[in-house]
Amino acid sequence: MDKDITIAEYSNAIAYKQCMNEASFLVSLEHENVIQLLGYCIERTKVYLLYDLAFNATLAGLIYDPVCNLLDWDKRYKIILGVARVLVYLHNHAPIRIIHGDVNLRNILLDESFNLKLSGFRSAITINETDRIYVDNIPGTLGIVAPEYYSKLEVSTKADVFNFGVLVLEIMTGQSIINLSVKGKRLIDYVARNWLEGTLSNIIDARIDVDANLMTKTVDIGLLCVQPDPVNRPTMKVIFDMMANVALSASYVDWCVDADYDTSAVDAFSLYQSYAQDSALKLHF
């Protein structure tokens, strides 16, 4: 049977090390939302990674293109929930528990039905017993890196949480955190200010039609994820449960079928409300 594939070639020393790191993780991961590594080949100073090419676009290509109208609200929320789900797998259930280290729109691949695959595992790190790791350099994509990388060179699963929060805010606003920085604005500050002033509707991507209640709850969760102190960020498991509760309240029941989530919850908003009301988890910007 014919199969579409893509081949990535790496030759310089840093790229070689990163792609070998990616290959070492991908061979052990089995999840419908993780890109599939079909094989790799080492030839002297070069390494080739062979991937299943079952995607049509990156999420960045669809969100950042102002004239693209392929992603309505339902598709966007389903993608957000899917990214949360795969991060729960990586942090808690994978054979080798890992921190992805570079969750961003360019690393989210979409097929023709908008099903996602997470790629870009070159910065991935194995989780140790303390869930806190000190690194020699700053991994990830410039502009999306969690602040603790810069201050402590410390990484934990909460760094992925921060990246996820940025992803949520970019999907909701249709704005690139990097492009806004060039214009002298910080996406997080931009959203947080409008959140505080009750003017979120002014900054939500005009291409989506979303209920105000769902919009507010989704932005709330995104802002919880990007708090400067990682202690104040939820875990990805809590985030997924909160988002699944919101999805259930909107009758997106089929999106929430997951071995780690109980869809029989009586009160769809209970977890979200208890989290939002927890004084230790109020937004700190």
CB-based contact 234:206 (threshold 8 Å): no
- What whole-number distance in Å separates Cα of residue 201 and Cα of residue 211? 10
Catalytic residue among 52, 72, 74, 102: 102
**Are 121 and 22 within 8 A, CB to CB?**
yes
Q: Which CA distances in Å does 214 have to 78, 86, 150, 251?
A: 13, 22, 33, 12
Q: Side by side, which strands form the sheet with 37-43?
A: 5-10, 46-52, 37-43
> Counting beta carbons within 10 angstroms of the beta carbon of residue 269, is it exposed (0 to 12), middle (13 to 18) or buried (19 or more)?
middle
- Sequence-ordered strand ranges (E) for 129-261: 133-134, 154-155
Q: Please classify residue 121 by burial: count the beta carbons closer than 10 Å to its beta carbon, then call 0-12 exposed, 13-18 middle and 19+ buried.
A: buried
Q: Which of 138, 178, 177 is nearest to 159 (CA)?
A: 138
H-run or E-run covering 43:
strand 37-43
> Any catalytic annotation for residue 211?
no
Measure the CA–CA gap between 150 and 112, rounded to whole angstroms.
38
The residues assigned a catalytic role are 102
